[in-house]
Structure 1
Amino acid sequence: MTPPPDAAPPGPSLSAPSDGPLPALRARIAAGLIARDPAQELAAEKLQDLWRRTRGYDPKAEPPETGGFLSRFLRRKPVEEAPEGAPLGLYLVGEVGRGKSMLMDLFFASAEVPRKKRLHFHQFMQQAHRRIHAWKQQHGDTADPIPPLADSIVAEAALLCFDEFQVHDIADAMILGRLFEALFARGVVVVATSNTAPDDLFKGKPGRDAFLPFIALIKKRIEVLVLESARDYRRERIRGLPTWHVPPDGRAERALDAAFAELTGDTPAKPTKLTLLGRAVEVPQAARGVARFEFDDICGKPLGPADYLAVATHFHTLVIDGIPRLGPENFDKARRFITLIDALYEHRVKLVASAEDHPDRLYERGENAAMFERTASRLMEMQSQDYLALPHLT
């Protein structure tokens, strides 16, 4: 069986990072690690061109602006005056599972830019809001936080690579236009992957008319490429994969280890944090849209529906270790588990888990056992091939 295109390379001998993303992709095809996909090759050619144009690219961050409003206004650069030679970025849009993250991996690993950063777009916006809040606390609500925020970002990265570019929050929409205008004026190059075309961002949301200039700006400073691969590699990876393991013993743990590695293409996982309304959901392991939790990490803490909604929209797959038998003695955990499964089911998140028993026998006694029947039914459906073939709803 040909491994999926998101599989991690077996070693640096396939293609030196300095060769760029296109040779790296071709090396993996030649080694039989991935199947040839014309749509992915076209995207890799575009990324290779951008790789050439950004080699050694290093626009200098401007010092923080001083003086009054008039001096800031006179020195402000419109996006049309972006630094000479600043390359246009690339926006890869396509349905889930088409290999966008794998292509981003190859580009980012090989990019020869002194200051570069790759992160999930949701995480980037969380950081931006925290910095804006800190700036206003120090300088007051009348001070404009956007120029210093842009200065701090470009000081860290002249190349920004965003996974899963998406806009759902009105607070994000309100600052994106000015922030990205300031970033482009400072020479920042943006590469992004998304399931949503720029023209469809924030579609149908209140206040979208005010968001349209940002869409125009994106289309002006970032080339848009639709990845029209006919194959959904993500669904192929999970199709046929056992998703419910009983009991939660060493064999089940090894199976979950293997599933997590398969679903992430062996990408090293790291802890992350989802922040909303001043609170945080700690995610012990996450990579490529897959999160892994011990049961107590996700259901043993005081989390509520908004927290589980954030998890369900942020990750397309969850791996949960050690779901216990549920009953009156651990009712709080059971209640949170029910809320979690509702959120996962409604957003078509895939679940791989180990548990003390099968779903219909997890909660057999106590006054809330009847309430769990719907959850058990959903857990059974979530193991079906029909459910596993459904797209994730963000």
Structure 2
Amino acid sequence: MVARLSDRNPVVSPEQLIEEMVPPSTFDSVSFDSYIPDPNEPSQAEAVARARDFVERAKKSRSGKKGLFSRKQTSQGVGLYLDGGFGVGKTHLLASIYHAMPAPKSFATFVELTHLVGALGFMNAVERLSEQNVLCIDEFELDDPGDTMIVSRLLTELTAKGVSIAATSNTLPGQLGEGRFAAQDFLREIKKLSAIFETIRVDGPDYRHRDLPPAPEPRSSEDVAALAEATEGATFDDFDELCAHLAKLHPSKYKELVDGVSLVCISGVHPAKDQSVALRIVVLADRLYDANIPVTVSGAKLDEIFTDEMLAGGYRKKYLRATSRLLALSRFAESAV
């Protein structure tokens, strides 16, 4: 009988959550030396130099300084923010920073970081992350005031304890959340976040405006079931049942949910019924993409999961990223069979 993701109920310890805060496997061997700047984009070579400099400053910051009676005092952590469009190598540079720093160190997407705080509780997260020399945050995004205030408090406390912060995004720190929320409390938190970082622009071709390539045609439900049956390590789920199961799991467990899976097969795919379902699919898509797990479906095409109304809202960037990643994984599935 084919396994189902809907039957999995992973248990993840706090220690495991911290240990799993590492770059995706595709960035295991990257370095500053392997980043090839575009000669037509001088900001890329400058970004490499500034990232190297950040590592040296972060190391010195963490080593502390001598106080009045020769006792080491904790120095303020330093911050670096890499801003630029898609496809310019920001994650490559962020992972290079991670690899160049001594342990302990952590790497997570912004969403994974907020999920970690939710799973551990704020003070526990501060206590555990304050031991790190550097915290690397990929795809920094602020989609609601609650997340903004949590992350602002978290980074403020961590930098005060000597943790250095490196982050990437497609939006400058002072513009995070722009056009979404006008509350004064929110704007005040944005300014705090902006003050933490030294911002470096990484220019280059911006792939955000390219049309997404067409999605593969869905298979029949019978074909999806047969493929799951014939593939060792595959899972086979009904779309609605899987979405209902995701609602019962904390998103911090999604990585463990797909651990060891060779192929994800889903029948009956259709547009997400509401934003909460859509956002859970985004997180699942990110975890599948990080693990390079192919996906094949029946029902609607994968580029139809997020409705036009959703794509016109504040989570547009998330939905486009998830769609692009799901399409890539579905093409991987097509080429693998």
TM-score over 0.5 (shorter chain): yes
State the alpha-carbon separation in 2 of the partners of residues 216 and 103 from structure 1: 25
Matching of residue 295 in structure 1 with residue 265 in structure 2: yes
Partner of 1:217: 192
The match for 1:100 among 76, 81, 90 is 90
Partner of 2:297: 323
Partner of 1:195: 170
State the alpha-carbon separation in 1 of the partners of residues 250 and 181 from structure 2: 25
Matching of residue 127 in structure 1 with residue 116 in structure 2: yes
State the alpha-carbon separation in 1 of the partners of residues 82 and 114 from structure 2: 19
Cα contact 1:309–1:343 (8 A) shared by 2: no
Cα contact 2:85–2:208 (8 A) shared by 1: no
The alpha-carbon deviation at position 275 of structure 1 amounts to 7.5
Partner of 1:151: 127
Cα contact 1:51–1:107 (8 A) shared by 2: yes
Matching of residue 110 in structure 1 with residue 100 in structure 2: yes
- Describe the SS at the equivalent of 2:130: helix
Compared CA separation, residues 129 and 94, structure 1 to 2 (3 A): same
The alpha-carbon deviation at position 197 of structure 1 amounts to 1.1
For this pair of structures, how many residues does the alignment match?
Answer: 259
Matching of residue 83 in structure 1 with residue 74 in structure 2: yes
- Describe the SS at the equivalent of 2:162: coil
Q: Which runs of 5+ in 1 are unaligned?
A: 1-6, 61-81, 133-144, 254-273, 287-291, 325-333, 358-394
Cα contact 1:312–1:343 (8 A) shared by 2: no
- Describe the SS at the equivalent of 1:54: helix
Pairs within 5 Å for 1:25-64: 25=35, 37-55=41-59, 58=62
The alpha-carbon deviation at position 109 of structure 1 amounts to 1.7
Compared CA separation, residues 131 and 228, structure 1 to 2 (3 A): same
State the alpha-carbon separation in 1 of the partners of residues 145 and 279 from structure 2: 17
State the alpha-carbon separation in 2 of the partners of residues 355 and 323 from structure 1: 13
State the alpha-carbon separation in 2 of the partners of residues 44 and 234 from structure 1: 23
**What whole-Å deviation, never above 9, does each CA across 1:249-290 have from its counterpart, x for those lacking one?**
9xx99xxxxxxxxxxxxxxxxxxxx9778654846769xxxx
Cα contact 1:59–1:186 (8 A) shared by 2: no
State the alpha-carbon separation in 1 of the partners of residues 296 and 268 from structure 2: 11
State the alpha-carbon separation in 2 of the partners of residues 173 and 235 from structure 1: 27
Q: Give, as a single letter, the amino acid of the residue that structure 1 aligns with 2:79.
A: G
State the alpha-carbon separation in 1 of the partners of residues 183 and 248 from structure 2: 22
Compared CA separation, residues 311 and 246, structure 1 to 2 (3 A): closer
The alpha-carbon deviation at position 307 of structure 1 amounts to 2.6
State the alpha-carbon separation in 2 of the partners of residues 37 and 220 from structure 1: 27
Partner of 1:308: 278
**What whole-Å deviation, never above 9, does each CA across 1:66-92 have from its counterpart, x for those lacking one?**
xxxxxxxxxxxxxxxx933x4521001
Q: Give, as a single letter, the amino acid of the residue that structure 2 aligns with 1:342.
A: I
State the alpha-carbon separation in 1 of the partners of residues 174 and 167 from structure 2: 15
State the alpha-carbon separation in 1 of the partners of residues 108 and 157 from structure 2: 19
The alpha-carbon deviation at position 225 of structure 1 amounts to 1.3
The alpha-carbon deviation at position 122 of structure 1 amounts to 0.6
State the alpha-carbon separation in 1 of the partners of residues 332 and 110 from structure 2: 33
Compared CA separation, residues 115 and 297, structure 1 to 2 (3 A): farther
State the alpha-carbon separation in 1 of the partners of residues 182 and 247 from structure 2: 21
**What whole-Å deviation, never above 9, does each CA across 1:286-307 have from its counterpart, x for those lacking one?**
9xxxxx962328959xx86423
Provide the aligned C-alpha RMSD in A: 4.7
Compared CA separation, residues 320 and 309, structure 1 to 2 (3 A): farther
Pairs within 5 Å for 1:369-384: none
Q: Give, as a single letter, the amino acid of the residue that structure 1 aligns with 2:53.
A: D
- Describe the SS at the equivalent of 1:101: helix
Compared CA separation, residues 277 and 214, structure 1 to 2 (3 A): farther
Partner of 2:136: 161
- Describe the SS at the equivalent of 1:343: coil
Q: Give, as a single letter, the amino acid of the residue that structure 2 aligns with 1:119.
A: A
Partner of 1:268: none
Compared CA separation, residues 311 and 323, structure 1 to 2 (3 A): closer
Q: Which has the higher contact order (CA 8 A, sep 6+)?
A: 2
Q: Give, as a single letter, the amino acid of the residue that structure 2 aligns with 1:307.
A: V
**What whole-Å deviation, never above 9, does each CA across 1:99-155 have from its counterpart, x for those lacking one?**
2111112222222x22110011111111112222xxxxxxxxxxxx54x54222212
Q: Give, as a single letter, the amino acid of the residue that structure 2 aligns with 1:115.
A: P
Cα contact 1:97–1:234 (8 A) shared by 2: no
Over alpha carbons, which structure has the higher Rg? Answer: 1
- Describe the SS at the equivalent of 1:95: coil
Q: Give, as a single letter, the amino acid of the residue that structure 2 aligns with 1:55.
A: K
